[in-house]
Amino acid sequence: MSPTNVPAASSVLSVRNLAKAFGDTVVLRDIDLDVRRGNVVALIGPSGSGKTTVLRSLNGLETPDAGTVRFGAPAGGTATLSLDFSAKVGKKDVVAMRDRSAMVFQHYNLFPHMTVLQNVIEGPVQVHKQKKSDAIAEARRLLAQVGLADKADAYPFELSGGQQQRVGIVRALALKPQLLLFDEPTSALDPELVGDVLAVIKELADDGWTMIIVTHELAFARQVADEVIFMDEGVVVERGPAAEVLRAPRHERTRQFVRRLL
Ligand code: ADP
């Protein structure tokens, strides 16, 4: 690795020139993205602009056609991870990348036939080979943290959307990822349930979690994000500190979008 390629100690993620097409449709073009430890990046933009595809690419759910994704060393560790999608990327590297990040989905994606507790320990036990009793103890601690201590034995269908999403968040936290990825975490919720979920995410930000949040909640983005990135038609149009991009956007496209939502 040349010195310029060595990630700074505080770099969690560094993406360069990420590109993706589905057939003839170009969905992402030359996406660059940097996230430092403890920072929150809000990814905003119209529907279809490629935001979800960016997140899915970072979690191994889509395979980009080109570009590099580099994860810096985890806190206390030394192992960096680099994937160059312009070359052939091995399955092992994709699994390693998936291990560095954890996704919270718009529609929660909980296993319907498993209890809340079983949903949360599934990854730690099956994927990370954690001892079941340890995984259960940690799951209960995390559930208590989001106000769901009494729901451990409930099934997803017995919970409100907001509660299911909090389980989705706990399931991601239980994997101890370097980076949390939120894909429109509140857009499937009834309006009165949005606040609880946003409050949990805000707490995580205050606790120092590193995250990328795709969201249409611009007031929330202004509150929690260190950086806001506005995407349109597969490219990054504008990026900068949340206050600048949301209060005084430089580009007309950003201005129109923000005006409609704020
Ligand atoms: P956003 O999250 O900003 O709404 P997406 O990343 O979901 O945008 O989608 C970007 C574009 O890619 C859209 O035009 C969408 O229709 C297209 N797309 C996403 N996933 C697929 C897929 N699996 N096959 C074909 N087209 C897709």
Tokens matching residue 210: 């590193």
d(CA 229, CA 247): 13
Task: Among 18, 33, 53, say which to mutate for ligand 1: greatest number of ligand atoms within 8 Å of CB.
Answer: 53
As a whole number of angstroms, the distance between CA 84 and CA 94 comes to: 11
CA of 57 to the centre of ligand 1 (A): 12
Take atom 20 of ligand 1 and give the residue whose Cα is closest.
53
Closest by Cα among 35, 38, 105, 102 to 71? 35
CB 193 within 8 A of CB 160: yes
Ligand 1 atom closest to 28 (CA)? 10
Residues with CB under 6 A from ligand 1: 22, 25, 27, 45, 47-53
Distance 48 CA to ligand 1 centre (A): 6
CA 237 to ligand 1 centroid distance, Å:
18
Antiparallel, parallel or unpaired: β 179-183 and 211-214: parallel
* Closest residue to atom 16 of ligand 1, CA basis: 48
pLDDT in tens, 141-187: 999 999 999 999 999 999 999 999 999 999 999 999 999 999 999 99
* Residue of 40, 8, 14 lying closest to 204 (CA atoms): 40
Would you write out the chain's pLDDT as a tens digit for each of its 262 residues?
444 555 566 999 999 999 999 999 999 999 999 999 999 999 999 999 999 999 999 999 999 999 999 999 988 888 999 999 999 899 999 999 999 999 999 999 999 999 999 999 999 999 999 999 999 999 999 999 999 999 999 999 999 999 999 999 999 999 999 999 999 999 999 999 899 999 999 999 999 999 999 999 999 999 999 999 999 999 999 999 999 999 999 999 999 999 988 7
The pTM (predicted TM-score) of the whole model is: 0.94
Helix (H, G, I), strand (E, B) or coil at 26: strand
* ipTM value > 0.90: yes
Cα–Cα distance for residue pair 84/239, rounded to 1 Å: 24
CA-closest candidate to residue 166, choices 122, 119, 221: 119
Q: Compute, in angstroms, the gap from residue 50 CA to the centroid of ligand 1.
A: 6
